[in-house]
Amino acid sequence: MSITHFDHSATLPTTFRSFEDAIARLLNEPRGTRPWSPSVDILETADELVLKADLPDMSLEDIEVRVENQTLTLTGARKFENLDTTTGYHCIERNYGTFVRSFTMPSSVDADKVTAEYENGVLIVRLSKKEAAKPRQVKIEVKGQKQETWQPHPLAAEEGKQREAAVTS
């Protein structure tokens, strides 16, 4: 009896093999050719939504914040700067190139009151809520009321008397 090598990939459907090839290419190609997307946190307070995006090593000229049709769009580019051409890099793990992130804003946000600031590599976008969308507390005022004693309805009182008469007779 002879031993032969069994090729598992030969029995897999073609679509799975092409998927497997695409994943292998994605993991093995240089990072510089892959698109990147900055990490974002979004939090909500009573008055606003706050978006924080990590954009380290970028200048203001390379970042754009746009609000259009209830959509907030962040666009930018981080440039690779080869500082020393006489030596080579051992490792390049940071992503470079352009990015685009879009977020649908809820209808409670006032698109005319959006502000953005950039400090220490973090972009902070503040989206103010419309006045109608802000929670508000309503104070309940109790006005003086007369103490009324409960009186049964005249028809109910008559029915009660008739029942009493039927029970006693």
Cα–Cα–Cα angle for 46, 140, 129, rounded to 5 degrees = 20
All domains of the chain in start order, with CATH = 34-135 (2.60.40.790)
What was the pLDDT predicted at 143?
Answer: 79
Residue 71 has pLDDT above 80, yes or no: yes
pTM metric for this prediction: 0.59
What was the pLDDT predicted at 117?
Answer: 95
Residue 145 has pLDDT above 70, yes or no: no
φ/ψ of residue 38, rounded to 5:
-70, 150
Distance CA 109, CA 87 (A): 51
Residues 6+ apart with CB under 8 A from 108: 129, 130, 133
- CB of 38 closer than 8 Å to CB of 125: no
What was the pLDDT predicted at 11?
Answer: 57
Which pLDDT band, with edges at 50, 70 and 90, does 165 fall under? low
> Rounded mean pLDDT of the chain?
78
- CB of 128 closer than 8 Å to CB of 110: yes
Percent of the chain predicted with pLDDT > 70:
62
Question: Residues 82-99: what's their mean pLDDT?
Answer: 76
Tens-digit pLDDT profile for residues 15-48: 666 677 667 666 665 555 557 889 999 999 989 9
Distance CA 124, CA 42 (A): 10
Residue predicted with more confidence, 100 or 137:
100
Distance CA 38, CA 76 (A): 10
Residue 8 has pLDDT above 90, yes or no: no
Place of tokens 């799975």: 16
Other Cβ atoms closer than 10 A to 38: 20
Place of tokens 């502000």: 115
- CB of 40 closer than 8 Å to CB of 52: yes
Q: How many Å separate Cα 7 from the centre of its chain?
A: 45
